Chains A and B, each alone.
Chain A
Amino acid sequence: MAFQILLNLFIAFVWMFLKVSYDPATFIIGYLIGLVLIYLMHKSFAARFYLSSIWAVIYLILLFLKELIVANFSVLKIVLKPNMDFQPGIFAYKTILEKDWEITLLSNLITLTPGTLVVDVHEENNEKILYIHAIHVPDVDDAIEGIKSSFEKAILEVSR
């Protein structure tokens, strides 16, 4: 992905030298031409076309923000409820992610998800396991699995 962006910048500079005009407008036109060229030749790169990676990153950031707001309303409900009748607990969650930065990102997302907080990360027989503290175990358990499969999918989409 980084290589394609560098190549695109390079094409933009070549366009500026061809036109012998060095202003931002020419640079942007050159960049757009480079974008079209890279799209036409994206089959010859090892990675996929880089705009789809950038879109996946933007999607992940929006997901982060949405989860933060939802999480705050769930905390609000718990804190302002007159009686403390929730049942907290720690559960294990096996993740299929492998690289360190992916796991960091996933645990940040889980921490900002309603009702969950990462306590520890372990590696046991080649499986990465996250230990997550949930504020109400009985009803969140299944829902959380669903949410996290969507997080994992979004992160895999970025790293693909």
Chain B
Amino acid sequence: MTETVKIIVVVFLLIGAFFSLVAALGVVRLPDVYTRNHAASKSATLGVMVILIGTFIYFYAAGHSNTRLLLALVFIFLTSPVGGHLINRAAYYSGVKLWDKSIRDDLKGKVKIRNFEK
């Protein structure tokens, strides 16, 4: 394996780890479910995808082309936005409040909300 390939792999892995860290930080720092979901569904997707690309390049340069990694890439790309959407929807339907500083809620009164906080 040549040095340039190693450097490319290292860059990919570090970028992926960095974005995963940003996702984790976002989940801790942001105020409510909906904003946390922004961080979790976007940064985690890109983080995992970039790490998988780095792994694929590493093994490809070593002589194995593992297509399962590429399939995993596509699956994560397609399923994680759907997961984020469903968590958001479930939260809204079970009466989770938006953050105090939220300035707009067009969905209010449009759906039947079950309140579990009583």
Contacts and interface: CB of A to CB of B under 8 A. Distances in A.
Nearest to A84: B31
Given A75-B43, A79-B22, A117-B88, A88 B110 contact: no
B interface majority secondary structure: helix
Interface string A57-78: 0000000100011011001101
Interface size class on chain B is 35 or more
B82 A119 contact: no
B106 A111 contact: no
Contact of A89 (B29, B78, B88, B105): B105
B57 interface: no
Interface string B12-45: 0000000100110110011110110111011101
Interface string B55-84: 000000000000000000000011001101
Contact of B88 (A71, A92, A119): A119
A91 to B, nearest CB: 5
Contacts of A86: 35
Interface stretch (A15-23, A35-43, A130-138, A148-156): A130-138
B98 A76 contact: no
Interface size class on chain A is 20 to 34
B112 to A, nearest CB: 12
Contacts of A133: 34, 37-38, 88
A79 B102 contact: no
B111 interface: yes
A11 interface: no
Interface string A81-104: 000101111111000000000000
A68 B106 contact: no
B39 A79 contact: yes
B94 to A, nearest CB: 13
Nearest to B25: A79
B103 A117 contact: no
B30 A79 contact: yes
B107 interface: yes
Given A80-B22, A137-B103, A117 B34 contact: yes
Given A119-B88, A119-B92, A120-B89, 15 more contacts: A72-B19, A75-B23, A75-B39, A79-B39, A84-B29, A84-B30, A84-B31, A88-B103, A89-B102, A90-B107, A107-B81, A117-B38, A120-B92, A137-B103, A138-B103
Top-6 shortest CB links A-B: A89-B104, A111-B81, A92-B106, A79-B26, A131-B107, A108-B81
